[in-house]
Amino acid sequence: MSAVHFVQVRLFDCLVENVLGRVHSGEVDFGIGPEREPSADIEARTLFELPFVVVFPKGHPLEKKKRVSWDDALRYPVIALQGEFTQRLRVDLHASLSDQALQPSHEVSFMTTALAMVSAGLGVTTCLPYADALITRYQLLSRPLLDPVVQRKFFVFTRRDRPYSPAAQRFASYLFEHMASYHQARWAD
């Protein structure tokens, strides 16, 4: 009879600004987060890429639109994530928007806070479709944002000088396989 071995996976939830620091320090085997400034000692492998959506409460004027442009969305107060998330979005939109700029009415630290504020009728927010379950939980609606389509890549970050442990390698492989099959199923038409 062979022995059964268990591997414990511990998940550390932190602000995206702290992901690379945790990887760099060796506190974690790898980190998952959006694109950040490159670092010579950190390797980044693309896990997935998704387009932005606008999120709003039921009954909002955007609900009547099948297609929502950034210009349409920015006519309403925007609740945005603070820091690099919004700074990068400003850069992405700067050249494309006709007469509006991304000027959030509120900046928050967590997407759950932004969604709760949208639910309270304080504005709209932008996020990626991976938040669909939260959007549904808050009984909100979303539409893809167009003109321009802006996408975000999320990466698996590792230290170049620190190979994966066998357990971390298997878990990372599972993540890549899962995301590939999820995207094929979700985006196949």
User: For 34-77, what is each residue's pLDDT tens digit?
Assistant: 888 878 899 999 999 999 999 999 999 999 998 899 999 999 99
Question: What pLDDT, on a 0 to 100 scale, did the predictor assign at position 186?
Answer: 60
Residue 76 sits at the vertex; the CA angle it makes with 72 and 80, to the nearest 5 degrees, is 105
User: For 111-140, what is each residue's pLDDT tens digit?
Assistant: 999 999 999 999 999 999 888 999 999 999
Q: Which of 53-62, 83-92, 154-163, 179-188 has the lowest mean pLDDT?
A: 179-188
pLDDT at 98 over 80: no
Asked if residue 23 lies in contact with residue 31, where contact means CB atoms within 8 angstroms, the answer is yes
Burial of 9 (0-12, 13-18, 19+ CB in 10 A): exposed
